[in-house]
């Protein structure tokens, strides 16, 4: 089937998109939401289970105190009101990865409501309303066997592992996001990014989308104008990266505009995003809408968040990422554009740590966003994972500032560090990367260069000072780049009797 024929520009010109983003966060508590089983990733199948998370007859859940604290901190960080009285509820439906065939979640009494998160897209701030954040438990995992793709379609049977069942999840639901117009895909991505950063700063989760500890479902609908009522929305799942968020939203806007323009109607359905083809496909149409028959969980006590408790937790919140970035930008003296580059390169923390290790902000930025960013892009490895740390970069900057090294040598030091040869100092020592600025050592090379290039020397003597560059180059070559270029130039000009 072909893709939409409407372009994105046409789509947003004709329709006003409305978004809703649901994000699930896997908490990094040591144990599961309702039992004392470990939450570590990658254990042998069904080795991290107990009667409770396996749903054995007779088992009962008991709430993890730290999970509740994390939920409340997330709510506070999102400017939510923490409910003084909050209850768990059962969401009833049958599925093989659900040990009890109901999920303990929250329904009409969630722990946190009515907040917001501000996100920046190209200099404009969008305030994303947060409807609610609530606690629930994760399901087990199924492997689909016998078919050709490992996906459900065409599988003959499945194998279920309940290690993941019961891991604490926080679901964060936005209010309808309006007024984004043609920026909708970017806003969606920016929201998920900002949320991820905030959760990371709170240290409540690993927030790795590729590992599933941060999951996003994107709801998209179109309406003829901002004054019209909301259109029918679709929910897109399997959005596994920030890039996918942006692409999936963009695709759905195009697809829905295509359908509507042709006079069709949008079906309210769950769709599946395919990163490889860049499209969403419809899920299996169900005969009846699911009726979850929510009722308050009789096996658990309500959570009564006292004011003291809330304030205690509020005091543990870290500086909001946006505020921190503004402060750092000011401390570092970067322009907005420079700061945005740093943020986009995900180098804020790295630069902060490099500065803390003794480098100047400008120096730190030069390396992280320059040479190291280039290597990161070339190899596809994230900056933080390259193999050089802020201490190393700071040391290199210090050596340069001291005059012990120049940029070219610094790049060799980086090579050495990344090759595992040791610390900056160790590499300098083992490779003999010391800048030669001792006049005595340089004089010989300077004299040689002048002698070997008489025409150039004459030009310089004749007034073409710029020509000395070639002589500098010759000296640098002769010293394998380990000469202090500035000093070399000075010496050459001195020898040639010219003012530099």
Partner 1 sequence: MTFTSTTAVDLAAGIAAGDFSAREVTTAFLDRIAETDGELNAFLAVDTPGALATADAVDAARAAGEPLGPLAGVPVAVKDVITTEGLATTCGSRILEGWVPPYDATVTANLRRAGAVIIGKTNMDEFAMGSSTENSAFGPARNPWDTNLIPGGSSGGSAVAVAARQAPLSIGTDTGGSIRQPAAMTGVVGVKPTYGGVSRYGLVALASSLDQAGPFATTVADAAALHAVMAGHDPKDSTSIDAPVPPVVAAAANGDVTGMRIGVVKQLTGEGFQREVREHFQKSLDLLAAAGAEIVEVSCPHFEYALAAYYLILPSECSSNLAKFDAIRYGLRVGDDGERSVEQVMAMTREAGFGPEVKRRIMLGTYALSSGYYDAYYGQAQKVRTLIARDFAQAFEVADVLATPTAPTTAFPIGEKVDDPLSMYLQDIATIPANLAGVPGMSLPVGLDDKGLPVGLQFMAPAMADDRLYTTGAALEAAVGWEARP
Partner 2 sequence: MPAISRDDVAHLARLARLELTDDELGHYAEQLDVILGAVQRVSEVAADDVEPMSHPVAISNVFRPDRLIPGLTPEQALSGAPAVEDERFRVPRILDEE
Query: DSSP string covering 431-470, please?
Result: HT---B--HHHHHHHHHHHHHH-HHHHHHHHTT-GGGHHH
With CB under 5 to 8 Å by kind, the binding choice for 31 among partner 2, partner 1, none is partner 2
In the set 120, 121, 175, 296, which binds partner 2 (CB under 8 A)? Answer: 296
- 156 is a site residue for partner 1 (CB under 8 A): yes
52: exposed, middle or buried (C-beta count within 10 Å: 0-12, 13-18, 19+)? buried
Q: Is residue 13 at the binding interface for partner 1, with CB under 8 A as the rule? A: no
Residues sharing a CB contact under 8 Å with residue 392, sequence separation 6 or more, in sequence order: 417, 423, 424
Report whether 253 contacts 267 (CB < 8 A): no
- Chain centroid to CA 9: how far? 27
Q: Describe the strand order of the beta sheet including 112-121 as a list of residue ranges.
A: 81-82, 112-121, 124-137, 168-174, 16-26, 214-223, 234-239, 270-274, 279-282
For 338, the token pair is 């420079």
Tell me the closest approach of the beta carbon of residue 301 to partner 1, in angstroms.
6
φ, ψ for residue 438 (rounded to 5)? -70, 120
CA separation for the pair 341, 337 (Å, rounded): 6
Select the span of 37-45, 351-359, 394-402, 427-435 touching partner 2 (CB under 8 A).
Answer: 37-45
Task: Report if residue 38 touches partner 2, rule: CB under 8 A.
Answer: yes
**Contacts (CB under 8 A) with partner 1, residues 50-79:** 51, 54-63
Among 9, 30, 299, 421, binds partner 1 (CB under 8 A): 299
Least distance in angstroms from the C-beta of 73 to partner 1: 23
Work out what residue 423 binds among partner 1, partner 2, none; the CB cut-off runs from 5 to 8 Å by kind.
none
Q: How far apart are CA 194 and CA 201, in angstroms?
A: 10
For residue 52, the minimal CB distance to partner 1 (Å) is 8
Helix H segments across 117-238? 184-202
Q: Which does 420 bind (CB under 5 to 8 A by kind): partner 2, partner 1, none?
A: none
Distance CA 286, CA 194 (A): 35
- Out of 3, 9, 96, 387, point to the residue binding partner 2 (CB under 8 A): 96
Decide which of partner 2, partner 1, none touches 421; Cβ closer than 5 to 8 Å per partner kind: none
Please report whether residue 94 would count as binding partner 1 according to CB under 8 A: yes
Q: Among residues 293 and 480, whose Cβ is nearest to partner 1?
A: 293
Tokens for 382, please give them: 């994230």
Residue given tokens 């926080």 in the structure block: 170
Residue with smaller CB distance to partner 1, 151 or 208: 151
CA distances from 486 to 472, 489, 492 (A): 9, 5, 10
122 binding partner 1? (CB under 8 A): no
Query: Which position among 5, 46, 323, 344 is part of the footprint of partner 2 (CB under 8 A)?
Result: 46
> Which x/- pattern over 164-183 shows residues binding partner 1 (rule: CB under 8 A)?
--------------------
The CA angle 384-387-391, to the nearest 5 degrees, is 80
**Among the listed residues 7, 9, 30, 426, the single contact to partner 2 using CB under 8 A:** 30
Other beta carbons less than 10 A from residue 457's beta carbon? 20
Residues that bind partner 1 (CB under 8 A): 51, 54-63, 90, 92, 94, 96, 99-102, 156-158, 160, 291, 293-295, 298-301
Residues that bind partner 2 (CB under 8 A): 29-31, 35-38, 44-51, 53-54, 62-68, 94-96, 142-144, 146, 152-153, 155-162, 237, 270, 272, 283-284, 287-288, 291, 293, 295-296, 298, 300-304
């Amino acid at each position: 089937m072909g893709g939409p024929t409407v372009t994105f520009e046409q789509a947003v010109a004709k329709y006003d998109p409305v978004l809703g983003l649901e994000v699930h966060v896997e908490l990094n508590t040591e144990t599961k939401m309702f039992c004392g089983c470990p939450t570590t990733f990658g254990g042998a199948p069904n080795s991290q289970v107990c009667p409770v998370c396996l749903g054995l007859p007779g088992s009962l859940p008991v709430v993890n105190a730290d999970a509740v604290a994390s939920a409340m901190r997330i709510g506070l960080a999102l400017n939510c009101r923490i409910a003084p009285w909050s209850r768990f509820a059962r969401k009833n439906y049958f599925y093989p990865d659900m040990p009890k065939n109901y999920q303990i979640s929250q329904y009409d009494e969630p722990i946190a409501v009515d907040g917001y998160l501000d996100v920046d897209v190209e200099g404009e701030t969008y305030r994303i309303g947060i409807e609610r954040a609530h606690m629930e438990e994760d399901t087990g995992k199924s492997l689909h066997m016998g078919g050709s793709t490992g996906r459900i379609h065409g599988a003959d049977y499945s194998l279920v592992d309940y290690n993941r069942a019961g891991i604490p999840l926080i679901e964060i639901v936005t209010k309808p996001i309006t007024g984004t117009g043609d920026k909708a895909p970017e806003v969606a991505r920016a929201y998920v990014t900002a949320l991820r950063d905030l959760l990371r700063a709170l240290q409540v989760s690993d927030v790795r989308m590729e590992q599933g500890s941060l999951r996003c479902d994107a709801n998209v609908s179109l309406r003829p104008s901002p004054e019209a009522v909301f259109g029918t929305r679709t929910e897109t799942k399997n959005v596994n990266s920030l890039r996918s968020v942006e692409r999936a939203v963009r695709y759905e806007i195009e697809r829905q505009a295509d359908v509507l323009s042709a006079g069709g109607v949008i079906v309210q359905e769950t769709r599946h995003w395919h990163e490889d083809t860049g499209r969403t496909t419809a899920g299996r149409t169900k005969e009846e809408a699911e009726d979850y028959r929510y009722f308050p969980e009789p096996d658990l006590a309500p959570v009564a968040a006292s004011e003291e408790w809330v304030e205690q937790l509020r005091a543990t919140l870290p500086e909001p990422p946006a505020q921190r970035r503004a402060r750092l930008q000011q401390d570092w003296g970067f322009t907005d554009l420079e700061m945005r580059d740093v943020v986009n390169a995900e180098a804020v923390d790295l630069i902060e740590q490099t500065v803390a290790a003794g480098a100047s902000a400008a120096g730190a930025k030069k390396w992280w966003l320059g040479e190291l960013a280039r290597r990161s892009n070339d190899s596809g490895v994230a900056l933080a994972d390259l193999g050089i740390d802020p201490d190393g970069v700071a040391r290199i900057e210090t050596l340069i500032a001291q005059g012990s090294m120049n940029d070219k040598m610094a790049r060799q030091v980086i090579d050495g560090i990344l090759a595992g040869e040791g610390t900056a100092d160790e590499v300098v020592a083992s490779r003999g990367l010391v800048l030669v600025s001792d006049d005595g050592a340089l004089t010989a090379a300077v004299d040689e260069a002048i002698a070997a290039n008489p025409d150039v020397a004459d030009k310089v003597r004749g007034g073409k000072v710029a020509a000395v560059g070639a002589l500098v180059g010759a000296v640098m070559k002769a010293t394998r780049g380990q000469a202090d270029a500035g000093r070399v130039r000075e010496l050459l000009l001195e020898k040639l009797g010219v003012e530099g």
